[in-house]
Structure 1
């Protein structure tokens, strides 16, 4: 992309909008401004079928590239878009000057008049404009769930997890075969997961822990969504925000579809050239989502920012004067890093949960926002639900629930006794219990263990 030409277009678009509010219709300044802006747009569309502009926070994103400096300079223009609830603008090849002029009319129209006329999308349609689309994302219908208990609740959580995996598979297929992306299945799956987590987060967190070991590409996306929603729910975010956050987390890595598979699955260290390709995926993902109907603008933000660290290092490179990262991006970064480290990947083996948390804590304040990271650890614990652990008594336990009071002492059931014999009916123990005579804990966790090495089937203990 010619960034200079893109900045020129945005600047002229802003000027044309402002001029329309100052001068009477047909004034030479308006005519010249429209002609010059339209000419630049035609130049941009010579080699592309469409051009997309998105507004993420106060940042203008042109074809997936953040225009930091120009966004700051054109605050009045971005504010006008936000006030008119215009989240993205798409220009299609073949656009006519009259259509472009109609857009400027809408961008410069008084807010009250625009609202009374039905809003920007309706006004644009009423003028017969076919080669410009305006994005205003609507809210998905909430999924109402019947009260359930015990085994039914667990089965329901499993179904929601499978639905989310199916949804991400469908989206990946749509992108690979250049089909129109249908986001509704993903929105429905996430909506169900949000409702489930709001009732009881443990079943889905447990599934996220177990599913980290297989089918990495798809399970990773769902795990990140689960762990992100859990964080957002604990922060008290509303239902709609949790839905948008979950979809954003589910789709955060879509840009990797543009990276050759041999690079993604390379077992050894990447060359600098290969890593440069990897570093393009946040911007590429944002570009994909900009062209997708039904996506909240939060998805663009999260996709673009999820590899930017708390101290604003990482990639894509952004100005240190940019300001803080979006809350959603910081939550997704924590979830993404945690699940990636907990998973078997082509270039790295799974890291035990206790070591994953230790490494993340060491990066607090640089990679991760400290308060959010501490909250995350309290939420899922050092040993999250679904983890098998070895105790200092040589017993093997299965963690089935976190302990907010002490993340090192989750609620646990013994599944193998100290003699190595499997217990037919797992016995719940209290890891906070102390020996009266000494005041020492009766049992403590030594380490997490791989259930496969012990011949244990995790699903039997859910």
Structure 2
């Protein structure tokens, strides 16, 4: 479950800059697809770069993405798409045998809301409920997105069908449904999981464990295999999550371990809520540093040096 450093392990500053740059590029592409010289080429470049970073350092990538998703509602649409696509890739790589289908899912996740990008960004900052015009755009965005992608040169039928169906896959899957239903349900689960932890102007994001319970639960309270796989891969408290330890200090999760409830963390606030200038790395498999609870990211008042924390984690 944990990533192991290799000779190709990127410097923390390079990893941070790579994800920031990728989000900027994706935001520009989704907000103005018609301005791209070659939309499909640009989108595939972003997707290939995303996959390469996940394969090189999944924990560092999860840390950066979940910190971003849970701490800011600015530029929501692109950050949400990037987190969803990354989680889709990790989950589908275990649940789907066909690598080509996994890549089609990645691309669908990046573009599922392309027909409502600006509305989605506005709603994240909007204190009021959607206007009638916004509601109409939300209701039609899946099929509108397919039409827009086709006009931009997308011909992959799997990519297009997932975008068309990404809000209406059946709750239960049967053998007769085939891989398309599974792919769509993976996107729906990651979409819901990411949306729940992301803040809005009208609410704070949810605690990561609440979000996890939501994607695992299904009608009749039967466990959802897609949600279960998602939580098994990212962990109960994935990288980027703030947690309260048994000694009442606060830490941020940096890396997963083989035991889902015992991640490697950096202690960032003492028990009195004071920032720790040089956060120590802690194992959480024994008292007093066992994880007591996950925290809502925006409730933790601390400025993190992401580059420094990722450097520490890579060397641990």
Superposed pair shares fold, TM > 0.5: yes
What is the aligned counterpart of 1:287 among 147, 150, 154?
A: 147
**1:272-319 Cα shifts (integer Å, max 9, x gaps):** 88645422111111111222325532221221111114328xxxxxxx
Sort the Cα spacing of 1:442 and 1:147 in 2 relative to 1 into closer, same or farther, 3 A: closer
Partner of 1:217: 77
Partner of 2:30: 172
Mapped contact 1:247–1:299 kept (Cα < 8 A):
yes
Sort the Cα spacing of 1:265 and 1:282 in 2 relative to 1 into closer, same or farther, 3 A: farther
Mapped contact 1:198–1:233 kept (Cα < 8 A):
no
Distance 1:349 1:368 in 2: 28
**1:361-396 Cα shifts (integer Å, max 9, x gaps):** 33x258998111101011112221011211121111
Q: Deviation at 1:260?
A: 9.4
SS class of match (1:360):
helix
Q: Deviation at 1:209?
A: 0.4
Partner of 1:123: none
Map 1:220-259 → 2, pairs under 5 A: 220-235=80-95, 237=97, 239-257=99-117
Q: Deviation at 1:347?
A: 4.5
Partner of 1:74: none
What is the aligned counterpart of 2:13 among 133, 138, 155?
A: 155
Q: Deviation at 1:237?
A: 4.6
Partner of 1:461: 309
What is the aligned counterpart of 1:400 among 222, 229, 254?
A: 254
Distance 2:157 2:14 in 1: 30
Pair 1:331-2:189 in alignment? no
Sort the Cα spacing of 1:287 and 1:346 in 2 relative to 1 into closer, same or farther, 3 A: farther
Pair 1:188-2:41 in alignment? no
Pair 1:374-2:231 in alignment? no
**1:200-257 Cα shifts (integer Å, max 9, x gaps):** 3111111110111332122111111111112123336565444332222111111215
**Structure with higher helix content:** 2
Mapped contact 2:124–2:200 kept (Cα < 8 A):
no
SS class of match (2:254):
strand
**1:92-117 Cα shifts (integer Å, max 9, x gaps):** xxxxxxxxxxxxxxxxxxxxxxxxxx
User: Given the two structures, how large is their TM-score scaled by the length of structure 2?
Assistant: 0.79
Mapped contact 2:115–2:142 kept (Cα < 8 A):
yes
Q: Which has the higher contact order (CA 8 A, sep 6+)?
A: 2
**1:60-100 Cα shifts (integer Å, max 9, x gaps):** xxxxxxxxxxxxxxxxxxxxxxxxxxxxxxxxxxxxxxxxx
Pair 1:386-2:240 in alignment? yes
Mapped contact 2:77–2:121 kept (Cα < 8 A):
no
What is the aligned counterpart of 1:206 among 63, 67, 72?
A: 63
Partner of 2:314: none
Mapped contact 2:66–2:240 kept (Cα < 8 A):
yes
Distance 2:274 2:20 in 1: 33
User: Given the two structures, how large is their TM-score scaled by the length of structure 1?
Assistant: 0.56
The count of aligned residue pairs is 298
Mapped contact 1:412–1:429 kept (Cα < 8 A):
yes
- Give ranges in structure 2 of 5+ residues lacking alignment: 1-5, 311-316
- Give ranges in structure 1 of 5+ residues lacking alignment: 1-145, 313-319, 435-440
Pair 1:423-2:283 in alignment? no
Distance 1:458 1:451 in 2: 16
**1:98-153 Cα shifts (integer Å, max 9, x gaps):** xxxxxxxxxxxxxxxxxxxxxxxxxxxxxxxxxxxxxxxxxxxxxxxx9423xx34
Partner of 1:445: 292
Q: Deviation at 1:458?
A: 5.1
What is the aligned counterpart of 1:413 among 255, 266, 279?
A: 266
Mapped contact 1:378–1:404 kept (Cα < 8 A):
no
Sort the Cα spacing of 1:263 and 1:344 in 2 relative to 1 into closer, same or farther, 3 A: closer
